[in-house]
Structure formats: C-alpha cells, structure tokens
Amino acid sequence: MNFASDNWAGAHPAVAQSLTRHADGFAAAYGASDLDKRVERRFNEIFDREVAVFFVGTGTAANSLALASVNRPGGVTLCHRECHMIEDECGAPEYFTGGARLAPVEGELGRIDPHLLRQEIKRFPPEFVHHGQPMAVSITQCTEVGTVYTLPQIRAISEICREHQLPLHMDGARFANALVHLGVTPKQMTADCGVDVVSFGGTKNGCWCAEALVYLNPERARDLPFIRKRAAQLFSKTRFIAAQFDAYFDDGLWISLATHANAMAQQLALAVKESRSVRLAWKPEANELFVILKRKEYQRLTDGGAKFYPWNPPHAFHGHMADDEMMARLVTSFATTAEDVEQFAELMN
Amino acid sequence: MNFASDNWAGAHPAVAQSLTRHADGFAAAYGASDLDKRVERRFNEIFDREVAVFFVGTGTAANSLALASVNRPGGVTLCHRECHMIEDECGAPEYFTGGARLAPVEGELGRIDPHLLRQEIKRFPPEFVHHGQPMAVSITQCTEVGTVYTLPQIRAISEICREHQLPLHMDGARFANALVHLGVTPKQMTADCGVDVVSFGGTKNGCWCAEALVYLNPERARDLPFIRKRAAQLFSKTRFIAAQFDAYFDDGLWISLATHANAMAQQLALAVKESRSVRLAWKPEANELFVILKRKEYQRLTDGGAKFYPWNPPHAFHGHMADDEMMARLVTSFATTAEDVEQFAELMN
Amino acid sequence: MNFASDNWAGAHPAVAQSLTRHADGFAAAYGASDLDKRVERRFNEIFDREVAVFFVGTGTAANSLALASVNRPGGVTLCHRECHMIEDECGAPEYFTGGARLAPVEGELGRIDPHLLRQEIKRFPPEFVHHGQPMAVSITQCTEVGTVYTLPQIRAISEICREHQLPLHMDGARFANALVHLGVTPKQMTADCGVDVVSFGGTKNGCWCAEALVYLNPERARDLPFIRKRAAQLFSKTRFIAAQFDAYFDDGLWISLATHANAMAQQLALAVKESRSVRLAWKPEANELFVILKRKEYQRLTDGGAKFYPWNPPHAFHGHMADDEMMARLVTSFATTAEDVEQFAELMN
Amino acid sequence: MNFASDNWAGAHPAVAQSLTRHADGFAAAYGASDLDKRVERRFNEIFDREVAVFFVGTGTAANSLALASVNRPGGVTLCHRECHMIEDECGAPEYFTGGARLAPVEGELGRIDPHLLRQEIKRFPPEFVHHGQPMAVSITQCTEVGTVYTLPQIRAISEICREHQLPLHMDGARFANALVHLGVTPKQMTADCGVDVVSFGGTKNGCWCAEALVYLNPERARDLPFIRKRAAQLFSKTRFIAAQFDAYFDDGLWISLATHANAMAQQLALAVKESRSVRLAWKPEANELFVILKRKEYQRLTDGGAKFYPWNPPHAFHGHMADDEMMARLVTSFATTAEDVEQFAELMN
C-alpha cells in the first residue's frame, strides 16, 4: 500500500531489460550513438512532426533548461502559484537562468486562470524596465494537484502567449498520465494547442531516470546543445537514457503504464467515495488523489501500513475542512496493484 | 579495437545486474532510501573515515558543484592549463559558480608545477580587490594526459593550499585508475595528502552513470544538499546511482576493473614500443596512451578498424614531432580485451 | 508643482558645492582617499558604533549587494509583496544573487505582517531541500506606500529573524524621512532594533548619487570589498560619493532636508483634506502621499500643471474606490516649496 | 608630481560647473529627461551616425554589460592576456554574463596578435559543445600598456570577427587618448574599422563618473535597457552623468584634455630619455609611460615626492631588465602640469 509518490516506484521490467540489453559493447559517447539517434527519431513519430530532443537527467533540469533557452534580462515566467518549479525545485529555474523570476498566477485546481494570466502580463508594460519583462508562460500537465488542462484550456493560454509573443512551456513530468486522461495524441496536446517546448518525463512512469526536453519547433533549440552541456546535463553514456526511452515507447508501453496508473487512481477514488472516513478534496483526473480526513484517521491508516503523505491545501482551495481534519495525497503508478487498492479500501472501513 | 574513450564502454554486467535487482519495489525518493544510506556508509569504509557523499549524474556536475561549494566573490580556482574543467566542460564550473574563474597553471605532463602554482597565487595579494581572490586549487587524478600525481606531488600542492587556506579539490573521473597505478588506498591518496573534496567517478570504470562528490571533512559539505538540488542534480530515484556503486564496491570490483584497464594499457604500450610506425609520446601510467605517428599511419590504422582519436599536443610537450606526424590518444577500459590489444599490435606491424 | 518623485529633484546646493570643492587635486582612487576614509568614519558617528560602510551608485545596487552578501543556495528572502526589490528593480536582487528568490509576504500599508512572516518561514522546514531555504528578511523604511515601521514593529520582525538566525536588511532609500517621522536616532532605528544591514540612501534626499551599504556588524561585511568590485560598483573616483555624504551630514543637513520634505507632505495632506475632489488613501507619514480622485480630476490637475503619477492600489488596500476613481502618488522632497503646495491646493479647489 | 593614475585626478572645472548648473529644478528620472535625450543625440554627432547610448557608472560596468549583451551559453570572449577585463575587474565580466569565459590571447605591447587570435578561435570547432563557443572579441584602446591599435590593426581583427560572425567590443576607457594619438575621428576608429560596441570612458579624462556604452548598430542594443537596469546601472538622476558628458563634448573639451594629457606624456618621455637613471620600456603613445629603473632609484624618486607605481612586466615583454631593476608606470591626465613634468625631470637628474 505505497501511495507516497510515483517516484518511489522502481523501473518497469521492460525498461530494466533494455538497459541490460544495451550494457554491452562500445557506443559513441555524448549522444552520438546510433541508439541515441534512433530514439531521437522516435520522438518525431511520437509527436508526429520533426522535433528537437535533448535527454537530461531530472525533471528539474528539463524545466530549468527550458527556461534558460528562452531567457531574457529581467525575465519573468508566469506559472501557477503552486507549480512544481516554484514549490519544489529549490530555485533551480532561477539559478539556471541567472535570476529570471517565476511570477505566480492564481487559478483553481492547479490550472492558471487565463483571465488572471492576462492581468498579470499587463503588469509589465513593454519598455518599462523597472518591472522586468515577461519571457515565457509555463503550465504543468498534469498540474501539481493532479488535474489536467483540457485542450481548450491549453489553447486559451497559448492564445495569450501568442498575443504577447511569449513561448509556452509545458512541464510534463506526468505527460503520459495527462495524455491518457484526455485520450488525445501528443501532437494534439502540444503542437496543436500552441505549446512550444515540453519537459517530457519518463521517470515517474516506469523509467529509472529518463527525461527529455522536446522543442516542437527545432529552430528554438539552436543553443540547446551548449545550454545542456554547460548545465552538466550531457551524460557521457547517454545511451543509458536512450535505452530507457526505447523500451518506454515500444508497443506503447508508456501509454499502458499511465493507463494502469490512472485506472488505479480511479479505483482508489471509488474506494474513498465508499469509505466513511475519507473523502475526496476534488475529482482526481490522472494518477493523484487528494483527500481530506481526520488526523487520527491518517494516523490509523499509516499505522495500518498505508504509505502516503500530508499535503498543504492549495491556496485557492475553497472546500470545507474541519479543524481536526487534514489534506493528504495518494499517488498511484505503474507499480500499484489492484491488491494495494483493495487492501487500502479495507483498511479505510 | 575500440580505444576511443573509456566512456564508449557500456556497463559491467555486475553493475547492470545490480540495477535490475533494485528495479522492483518502492523506495524513498531523493536519496532517503535504505540502499542510498547503506551505500553512503560504504564510502566511509572506502575512505576509512567519515565522509559526506553526494551522488550526482555527471563528472562535470561533480566538479562544478565542488567549486560552487567553496565559491567566493571574484573567486579564482587554480588548475592545470589543460585540465578537463578548462578544456571540456563548456564553462560549467564558471556557470555553476556564477562566474568564478579558472586560472590556468602550467606544469609538465598534466601536473601542476608547485613552483608556478605558488607564483600564480602570489599574483593575488589579499585585500587587493581588482584581481579577485583565490578560492581553491584543483588537480586531476589521473591527469588529462594519463599521468598520475604521486603522493609527494599531491602533498607538495596541498601544502601550498594550507599556507593560503585554500581547499584542494581532486577531479577523480579516473580515481580508480590512479589508485591502482599508485598501489595505495583512497585515504592515502586523498585525506592523508590534504585533499578536501573529491569528484569520485564510477562512470568511466564500468558504471552507467555513477559519480559522487566526496567531502573528506563533512563540515565543509553543510550546504551541499541545497547546492545539489538547486543544480538539478538530486535524482528522484537515486537508488539507481546507489545500486551502481553498490555493485562497484562489492568484492573490490572497482579495483579489479581499473587494474584490468591499466594492464591493458601497459600491454598496448608494449605493443607500441615494438611497433615500427607508432611511438609513445610519454610513458603511460594508467589507462590512457598518448602516441605519435604519421598521419598516413593513423589513417591506415583507423581504416583497419582501430578506433581512436587525434589529440592536440599539450602546451608543455617538448617531445619531437615531424611535420607529417600527429599525436593521438588510446584509452583502455574494463571492456578492453587482450584480443583487442593483440589485434591492434598486428595491425601496427 | 512637481510631485512626480523625489528623484526628479536635483542636488541640494551644499551637495553641489561639496562636489566642486573636491574637484581639484589628486586623491587615491577606489576608496582609499583621505576624504573617503574620513566620511566612512562619519558613518560611525551617525550610527553611534563601528560600522562597515560601502559606497555604491544606486539603491538597487545597495539592496542587491546586501542580499548577495548573505546569499545561500536555494536562498529565499522574505519581503513585502509590494516592496521596491520585487516591484521595481528588474530582477536585480535575483541577478546579483545568482537566482535567490524574493518571497512576498503580505501586510497592511506596506509593512510585513509579523504573523504572516512567521507562517511563511515555517513553509521552509530545515533540511527540506525542495523548497529552498530562507536567507534573509528585508523591510523597506519608509515602505513603498509611504508609511514607516515603528520601532516596536521593527523589533517584532527582528525577533522572528533571530529565532531563525536570519539577517535583517533594511532598504533605507528614504531612511532620513523615516527617521524624522519617528524622531529617533539611526542607532535606535537600526542596531537597537536588530537590523543587520542597511541600504542607506542619500540620492532621494538631496544628493546626486550617494548610496551606502552599512553593516551594523562589520564582521558580516568581510567579503563586501570583493562583492562590490565584482558587481562593478567600486567607483574609481569614489571621492565624488564621499564628498556628497560629507555635505549631507554637515550640520545635520540630511535631517533638515528630510524634515522639510516631510513637512511639505503634511501641508499637502492638509490641503488634500480640505479639498472637495481629492482624498487621502491613508495617512501619510513621511514624504509620500497616496490619494484617491476621479480620473477626470487627475486629468484636470495635471493639465493645470501638477506633475504626479497614477499608482496601482496595493493588494491589501481595503479602502473604497469608485469605478471612475483612481489612486495617485504625490512625493515631496527637499526641493518642494510651500508655494508648490499652495498652488496645488488652489488648483484642487 | 602625481603620476599614479588618471583616475587620481578630480574633475575638470567645466565638468564640475555643468553639474552645478544642472543641480536645480526637476527633471524626469531614469534617463528620460530632456538633458539625457539631448546628450544622447550628441553621441550621434560624435560618432557621425545613429548610435544607441547607455550611461553607466563605471568602466567595469560598461565592459561587463557589453559582454552580457552578446552572451552565449558556454561563451568565450577573446581578449588580450593582460587586458583590464582579465586583470583588474575582479571577475565582473564573468559575473555579469553568468560565467562566460575570457580567453587570453597573446600579442606584443598589449595588442592582440591577429594570427594568434585566429588560432585561438579555431580551437572552438562549431557544434563541439565541450569547449564552449566564441561569443565576442574585445580589444582595449588604449591598451593596458599604453599603446594604441592603428586603424589597420583594428581592421585586421574585425575581419577575423566578421569571418566568424563575432561582435567586436572596444574597451575605450582611454578612448580620447587613443583618438588624439591617431588623429582620427571616432567614426574612423570604430564603425569604419568594424567595431560593434564601445565602452566609452569619460572618467579618466576629466569627468567624475561618466561612462557610456555605445552601440554602433542600435539593433544590437535592443535588450540593453533591461540589461542595464537589472545590473543596477540605471541611475535615477541620470542627468548627473548627462551633464558631465555635455560639458565634456562642448567645444571639443574632451579632445583638448586628451591632447594635453598625451602631450604631457611625451614631455615626460623626453625627460626620461634625457635622464641617466630611468629608461623607457617601450615608446609611449598616449598618456601612459612604462619605465625601467633601479629599485633604489624608484625609492629615491618617490621619496622625492613623485607618486607612481610599480608595474608587473607584461608576459610578452622581451626588453632587458637587470636583477636590481623594476618596471613602473607613470600616467598623465588633464590635471598634469608642465611644472609637474619639469619637477620630475629635475628629480631624475
């Protein structure tokens, strides 16, 4: 019953096998091997267009380098107040950009409110140097609270970006889970919606360590090879990342794994709905559940062997919580089993 | 016959198996797992003292974060003119330190000349703000030209460091190869010689991607957890690095692999000495050979299936090279076989 | 009738004369002249203790270098949501710290709410690397909306700083105006209240360009000479800043000028209170008035020759504003005359 | 007899008067005043074309922001080994560019050797990320050893820049002294020779603190307003810099002052040539003399009231110096008098 996080899971057997399969022999270092090139081409197929792909080691690296590549002096990236870049990356995006700022925008359930986004951008009149200047908008898909932007919602934001000539970044640490929830293609969720650059995450969905920066318009990526190397994110034996993605894409494994994780979350949600002691804070859409329960109940459940963590309620959360209640997060993954869910359901009752 | 680089080799089977063995199950993310903790403790044994250990993804990251942790305003790190940090890290050390400078010091065969080091440090009178201020000395072990500092040579440098209260960093991308050449213990080559922080590399010696920053004095590492996270080098599934080091240290595997690589280099050197067309530029000490040969011969050898690369002669190289000659580098690794060497020997003759 | 800003005023005649008086002759460059040293000592008298003083060229430089001197990896400085560093310095504090973040804290009328400050600091559990770590608290005295922290209010904040071992910075761009309002000494407003470092501004109060970083505890300033030089803020002919401060302090000129500016603001406030068309947004305390008036009235007043600017209402402003109303700011300075105020009073009626 | 440096001199009376003349009244802050605009237009006349001009406070700021404006990831600026940016700016250029490197190029008498420049650039094959990439070439005019690039010498360098599409920066801290020596116009010495951006210094030639970044092609300066503000170099009362330049340009004052300084240097050189105890290290071209003398003689001269400093011989200095001899630098300025020179001549004999 481990619902702590999807990065507590290990590697899917197919990913592990691919690593072992590619362990032998010599291959050109620093991304020049045949395997690297072949897997890069697979991203073209996945995104149904020519994209520029850069493997990196962590999601924080992908996000930070994405911003570094669109950096401007006095630059400000507009993102959701509770997004991962603001909350959980120890200032890496600011560090990698030499001080560009992340400006928080409010919005319900983890999604940027387009109206407030427009207002926030207006706070920066062009040529008014004192405030700095917008340089990008970043959305998180899935959001930090487990919800998913619909395609029209993404488009509403990219239209604002286009009006202000701002690139749109998508932090896709849980890209696959969002995709599965929406039932669309990568192209539909990105290029067709006006997304310019994606932090494409594989780690949380069954890889060891496989993240990629994907530029929908390769022109924008001109400086990326230098940006990545300067940031110590060019691995010498890059084939070890390529090999993971290779297995990840084979036979749609990545979609299967996310489908499973999301399904487990739905089953968990059903169990919660039927429980007397725990309730959903909001409707889960991908592989994360946010629940409200009494502190004593949380204690009882964790004592009973369920692993999951308290969560600070989002600023814009308007649901009701009693004084003796708390919010918590449960995350499912490719490694979650139906038995885990059933066991938890029993434990709740 | 692939002598291109030790990072063209893959992973040793034991490392690959360890990864697979730890693929299953849930483990605390971000370095908090039992495996992480256990492997961190193994570093204490390896270094025969309590050390602070931080896993990172690349050697460039290890070097850059080492410098970031001893950073000073207007800071200058003294290192060999042709060291990896200056030549081959795309400015990462400067980037991660927000602009601290690498000041080149000359010295024969890749080793800093202590006399010149002292002179260079003297160029920075304390309190004279215009020149900046020394912040560290960094040595590369093995050096960029495959030589190894002897213990007295390291001590000569660390004495200068102590006089000026400068920390001494060792870029140990090929730490094991140096250790094996000297026939000493890690403690003898570091703490006993006055080294303060080591970039401890496993990648070039049979791992996929396993590098560690090792602080001989844990006090110095107080800020490292934040420095690493801010630099996007805290992996969520860190156990994948820990698992590599676990196998790497089991039964002295790391020493065996380096011993093999160094032995292959010695055999290769013998073959070169016996050849009529290729000669050694200087005596190899670890797993890298630098040779001089006619351009036509280089062409012939590579056409014949040998993979190795030209190398720019070091600035302080005083050997003889004819106009139609060039320098080249041959690197051996755990994956080099005696057959590779024999085949190359035959090809030369 | 120019109430645009106190930095629209020029230089007080005594300051201009001092510059001219020191124009002749040779003097050691880079802060080593007798005049520099003498004026530095005058700061000791002003602050009634030994302080470390560093002249810089702009208030933004003073603030940014203050933060650079207390920088930490993943560092977060807590400051008021609408403070100058966040709103009007184009990201300079983030730039000079290599990406340390400014975390906005709410509070009424420009003052940090101590309760919310404590809450915000608690969001950063020690050792939890993901969120980063607090590195300083910064208050603005006078605040961005022209109010002044009382001594107990400063103490309430410095106590929180002490609990968490955080240095307390005071952005004193309008230090003199605050001092005069409170009727206290510099020591009382800083060292006695637990302030650690002050951006001491002279520019807005009658100098051309005279700002100083003042460390109440000189120990903290050890690296400042290098921090300042690296930031291009060590002027070669520093005597030109020293000469300004020399005149500024002579016969308490700086206090007289601020007293005058504040008095003009009070007269202006009186005139506003008596007017039918303009009202105070809140009680002015130093040399800035924030008023509410109809847009048409603003137009009429500026057409009539009054120079002053619209102002975005602070986030925490709970006063009433009708749809056709706006907020505006009027600033007085040493150069404001009673005639200016009278003329404006007549124009309003 | 003060020959310590041209920044030990104060301000020329006309500059001081201009400051006083503009001390009164209100003027738009942050560079928007009529005076600012008018003086910016004077730069168009001076350079005989439309240029983009940005006032800053120090030469180090001008140089650093020039590089920041042409920054690239892994960027390397090629400049003379002993130039001011490398030797005397405490790493400011690296700091302001977030770690871009200054790569030293040799050359006699302070001038970059075009042949070596070409060689150095070739060390960075395009697309080879490990070494980083060239981003600019910077020359110092006058050089750090008081010599002046001729127009053909500048052109030889700018041709190499053009071949590699690198912008050419000129550190013109002593721009006027070079101009006077060459007897050419600013346009001839910059735009006509392929210079892209100039650090135009007024401070060393009779101003208090007046430096300007001049872009010969205003297109390149698009981001400069933000770059300058972010670097804390946008002064609120910028008119105090504008006023200095206004007087500086009136009636060709700047040319007169540099002409005087250079003439004083020539007289000093004559005196040195006639002396028995001091000799020229090389021919002075502008307002700096480098001399060789016995240490005892240096002591005698400074005891006699002459103020000047020892100087480390340039790396490429091939002149003869005996063991008991040293090198020293003498600098003349607008404030140097014929009496100073005569007195020094007498003292030498």
Strand arrangement, sheet containing B133-140: B52-56, B211-215, B197-201, B168-172, B133-140, B75-80, B101-105
CA-CA distance, D30 to A290, in Å (whole number)?
50
C101-105, strands of its sheet edge to edge: C52-56, C211-215, C197-201, C168-172, C133-140, C75-80, C101-105
Q: Which residue has the higher pLDDT, D243 or B320?
A: D243
pLDDT, residue D258, reads: 98
Among C208, C230, C239, the residue with its CB nearest the CB of D237 is C208
Contact call for C100 and A91, based on CB within 8 A:
yes
Task: Map residue C42 onto helix, strand or coil.
Answer: helix
Give the residue from D90, D102, D123, D124 with the most B CB atoms within 10 Å of its CB, the best one to mutate.
D90
Q: How far is A322 from chain D (nearest CA, A)?
A: 46
The pair of structure tokens assigned to D20 is 């006083």
Closest chain A C-alpha to D218 CA, distance in angstroms = 15
Q: Does the distance separating the beta carbons of B23 and A11 come in below 8 Å?
A: yes
B149-198 per-position pLDDT tens digit: 999 999 999 999 999 999 999 999 999 999 999 999 999 999 999 999 99
Q: Answer whether residue A23 shows pLDDT above 90.
A: yes
Rounded CA-CA distance D122/D132 in Å is 12
Distance between CA D239 and CA D141 in Å, rounded? 27
Distance from CA of A284 to the nearest CA of C (A): 24
Q: Within an 8 Å CB–CB cutoff, is residue C126 touching chain B?
A: no
Chain A residue at shortest CA distance from B33: A8
With an 8 Å Cβ cutoff, are C230 and D5 in contact? no
Cis bond before residue C161 (omega within 30° of 0): no
d(CA A3, CA A335): 10
- Which secondary structure element, helix H or strand E, spans residue A279, and what is its range? strand A278-280
CB–CB contact A98 C99 (8 Å)? yes
Q: Are D310 and D326 in contact (CB under 8 A)?
A: yes
As a whole number of angstroms, the distance between CA A14 and CA A31 comes to 22
pLDDT tens per residue, range A331-346: 999 999 999 999 999 9
Give the number of C-alpha atoms closer than 13 A to the C-alpha of residue B35, restricted to the C-beta side. 26
Rounded CA-CA distance D5/A97 in Å is: 38
Nearest CA in chain D to A94: D98
Q: Residue C87: list chain A partners with CB under 8 A.
A: 130-131
Q: How many CB pairs under 8 A join C and D?
A: 164
Contact D8, C29 (CB under 8 A): yes
Q: Which residue has the tokens 């907020």?
A: C327
Q: Please state the ipTM of this predicted complex.
A: 0.97
pLDDT of residue B25: 92
Select the residue from C96, C124, C230 to test the B interface by mutation, using most B Cβ atoms within 10 A.
C230
In this prediction, residue A349 carries a pLDDT of 85
**What value does the mean pLDDT take over residues D119-145?**
96
Full 3-state SS string of B64-129: HHHHHCCCCCCEEEEEECCCHHHHCCCCHHHHHCCCCEEEEECCHHHCCCHHHHHHHHHCCCCCCH
Confidence of residue B271 (pLDDT cuts 50, 70, 90): very high
Residue that is written with structure tokens 């007087």 in the block: D247
Task: Quote the mean pLDDT of chain A.
Answer: 97
Reported in sequence order, the residue ranges of chain B that DSSP labels E, i.e. its strands, are 52-56, 75-80, 101-105, 133-140, 168-172, 197-201, 211-215, 278-280, 288-294, 309-310, 325-331
> Which of D13, D91, D335 lies nearest to residue C230, judging by beta carbons?
D91
C85: nearest Cα among C169, C149, C4:
C169
For A186-214, the pLDDT digits (tens) are 999 999 999 999 999 999 999 999 999 99
Cross-chain residue pair A127–D229, CB shorter than 8 Å = no
Burial readout D274-301 (b: 16 or more C-beta within 10 A, e: otherwise):
ebebbeebbebbbbbbbbbbeeebbeeb
Predicted confidence (pLDDT) at residue D212 exceeds the cutoff of 90: yes
pLDDT of residue A57: 97
Residues in B touching D88 (Cβ below 8 Å): 130-131
How close A92 comes to chain D (CA, Å)?
14
pLDDT at A319 over 90: no
- The pLDDT tens digits of the residues spanning A274-310 come to 999 999 999 999 999 999 999 999 999 999 999 999 9
Assess D337–C contact: CB distance below 8 Å, yes or no: no
At D349 the pLDDT is: 85
**Domains and their CATH numbers in chain B:** 13-252 (3.40.640.10), 254-348 (3.90.1150.10)
- Percent of chain B surpassing pLDDT 90: 97
| pLDDT score of D319 | 82
The identity of residue B306, as a single letter, is A
Q: Do the Cβ atoms of C27 and D10 come within 8 Å?
A: yes
Q: Residue D320: pLDDT above 90?
A: no
Burial B128-160 (b: 16+ CB within 10 A, else e): ebbbbbbbbbbbbbbbbbbbbbbeebbbbbbeb
Do residues C89 and A93 touch, judged by C-beta distance below 8 A? no
pLDDT score at B16? 96
Q: Which of B22, B90, B239 sits opposite A229 (nearest CB)?
A: B90
Nearest-neighbour CA in chain A from C244: distance (Å): 26
CA distances from B18 to A239, A244, B8, B245 (A): 18, 16, 20, 9
CA nearest to D76 within chain B: B91
> Six-digit token pair at D76?
């390397």
Contacts of D133 in chain A (CB under 8 A): 226
Nearest CA in chain A to B59: A232
Q: Across the interface, do C226 and B130 touch by the CB < 8 Å criterion?
A: no
What is the pLDDT at residue C315?
Answer: 84
In the prediction, which pLDDT does D272 show? 97
SS3 label, residue A99: coil
The per-residue pLDDT for D315 is 84
Mean pLDDT of D264-269: 98
pLDDT at D337 over 90: yes
User: Can you tell me whether residue D44 is helix, strand or coil?
Assistant: helix
pTM metric for this prediction: 0.97
Residues ≥6 apart with Cβ < 8 Å to D324: D294, D295, D296
Q: What are phi and psi of A142, to 5 degrees?
A: -65, 160
- To the nearest whole angstrom, how far is the Cα of D311 from the nearest Cα of chain B? 12
Q: What is the pLDDT of residue C316?
A: 80
Helix crossing, C34-47 with C239-249: angle to 10°? 40
**Residues 6 or more apart whose Cβ sits within 8 Å of residue A339:** none
- How does the average pLDDT of chain B come out, rounded? 97
**What number is the average pLDDT over the span B1-22?**
96
Percent of chain A with pLDDT over 90: 97
The stretches in chain C having pLDDT less than 50 are none
